[in-house]
């Protein structure tokens, strides 16, 4: 009989048994308010290596270290700038990761060889309970096979990792549906390395100088150092080819109607009228919040439906739209048709 990953609920006993696995050097799938994570004791090198192996993740792509209260930050970081403390007080617990100088106790395998570390305090009660019961910060990237869309429910985790990890805690469908905002600090400025639910407008309450790293909307330039190593890898990609169409709704439908229809599927970002449009489609949602919530599930569904080509009309960039567009661009390997 092949080994099956155990699905745990969020009861106190289940959290305890997941914490026992973590303490024994195992890895566990866990819900968070962003996407599902694959967790290990951040200080245990051998356990962290299991995460990289299970996901097939490149060794230089750092993991985020998850903590359960602000005081734990010094276990992971060696220095906490005043601006970082302000952000922590305003946005934690929540979907914000801050890149800070690494505490030397955090092994290099966890930080992908960098001397900085990404730290986040999640708000999902099961994540908090698991960190507390494990008694250690948890290193966790998204719980998907490297390169594929991030998992937003426990079934997605099983689809990718069944038989490769001992257990996953089922905490339902993730609220945000898109990974945390990742920021770093440059003097008095905040730089967004990866957009998420904590938007540039929200961060501007902390300091007016909020910048967007070039890598958020542009392909990685192999000649230059990359601020956030995750940016240089193929990401969030379904099996189907994704093409982003930058156009209004009418132009989008006209363009798609002229393409080869076999295996084509449209992702709809808006409330367009699809009467008379005889191509399969998935509505991702009309608002930025719905689009973030549904995007990864829609990409996975498109694969299940056997799509060969996914045409996605560029979403609006306000609010979480920037995060949605950032993920879509990577899913499309930056294939954008501007009409």
- Please identify, using beta-carbon distances, which residue of 142 and 291 lies nearer to Mg ion: 142
CB 180, min distance to ligand AMP, A: 7
Question: Which residue minimizes CB distance to ligand AMP?
Answer: 230
38 vs 154 by CB, closer to ligand AMP: 38
Residue closer to ligand AMP (CB basis): 118 or 285: 118
Rank residues 161 and 264 by Cβ distance to Mg ion and give the closer one. Answer: 161
Residue nearer to ligand AMP on the CB measure, 170 or 179: 179
Residue 190 and residue 83 in contact, taking contact as beta carbons nearer than 8 Å: yes
Residues at the contact surface with Mg ion, assessed by CB under 5 A: 141-142
Element housing 294 (H / E): helix 288-304
| Helix residue ranges, H only, 34-124 | 45-55, 73-76, 82-91
**222: helix, strand or coil:** coil
**Which one of Mg ion, ligand AMP, none is in contact with 169 (Cβ closer than 5 to 8 A by kind)?**
none
Tell the residue number behind the tokens 């799509």, with chain if given. 307
- 137's contact among Mg ion, ligand AMP, none, with CB below 5 to 8 A by partner kind, is none
Q: Which is nearer to ligand AMP, 128 or 235 (CB)?
A: 235
CB of 177 to ligand AMP, least distance (A): 13
Cα(300)–Cα(165) distance, rounded to whole angstroms?
21
Q: How far is the CB of 110 from ligand AMP (least distance, A)?
A: 9
CB of 144 to Mg ion, least distance (A): 6
31 binds, among ligand AMP, Mg ion, none (CB under 5 to 8 A by kind): none
Residue 124: Cβ within 10 Å count: 23
Q: Which of 323, 330, 70, 31 is nearest to 193 (CA)?
A: 323
Token representation of residue 191: 């730089």
Interacting residues with ligand AMP (CB under 6 A): 61-62, 64, 99, 111, 114, 116-118, 141-142, 179, 182, 193, 228-231
Nearest to 324 by CA among 279, 304, 303, 294: 294
User: Dmax of the chain from CA atoms?
Assistant: 61
Which residue matches tokens 């089922």? 170
Angstrom distance (rounded) from CA 48 to CA 40:
6
CB of 141 to Mg ion, least distance (A): 5
- Least spacing, CB of residue 28 vs ligand AMP, in Å: 15
């Amino acid at each position: 009989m092949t080994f099956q990953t155990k699905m745990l609920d969020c009861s106190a006993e289940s959290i305890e048994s997941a914490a026992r696995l973590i303490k024994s050097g195992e890895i566990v799938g866990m819900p968070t308010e962003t996407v599902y994570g694959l967790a290990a004791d951040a200080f245990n090198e051998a356990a962290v290596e299991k995460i990289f192996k299970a996901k097939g993740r490149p060794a230089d792509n750092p993991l985020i270290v998850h903590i359960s209260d602000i005081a734990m930050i010094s276990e992971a970081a060696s220095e906490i700038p005043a601006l970082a403390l302000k952000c922590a007080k305003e946005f934690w617990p929540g979907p914000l990761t801050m890149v800070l100088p690494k505490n030397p106790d955090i092994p290099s395998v966890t930080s992908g060889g960098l001397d900085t570390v990404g730290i986040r305090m999640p708000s999902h009660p099961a994540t908090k309970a698991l960190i507390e019961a494990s008694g250690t910060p948890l290193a966790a990237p998204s719980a998907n096979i490297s390169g594929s869309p991030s998992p937003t429910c426990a079934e997605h985790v099983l689809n990718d990792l069944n038989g490769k990890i001992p257990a996953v805690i089922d905490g339902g469908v993730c609220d945000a549906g898109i990974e945390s905002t990742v920021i770093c600090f440059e003097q008095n400025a905040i730089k967004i390395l990866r957009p998420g639910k904590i938007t540039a407008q929200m961060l501007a309450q902390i300091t007016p100088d909020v910048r967007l790293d070039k890598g958020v909307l542009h392909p990685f330039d192999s000649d230059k150092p990359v601020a956030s190593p995750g940016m240089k890898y193929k990401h969030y990609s379904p099996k189907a080819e994704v093409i982003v169409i930058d156009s209004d709704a009418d132009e989008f439908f006209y363009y798609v109607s002229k393409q080869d229809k076999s295996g084509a599927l449209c992702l709809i970002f808006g409330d367009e009228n699809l009467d008379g449009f005889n191509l399969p489609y998935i509505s991702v949602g009309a608002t930025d919040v719905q689009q973030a919530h549904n995007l990864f599930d829609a990409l996975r569904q498109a694969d299940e439906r056997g799509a060969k080509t996914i045409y996605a009309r560029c979403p609006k960039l306000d609010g979480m739209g920037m995060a949605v567009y950032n993920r879509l661009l990577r899913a499309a390997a930056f294939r954008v048709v501007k009409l």
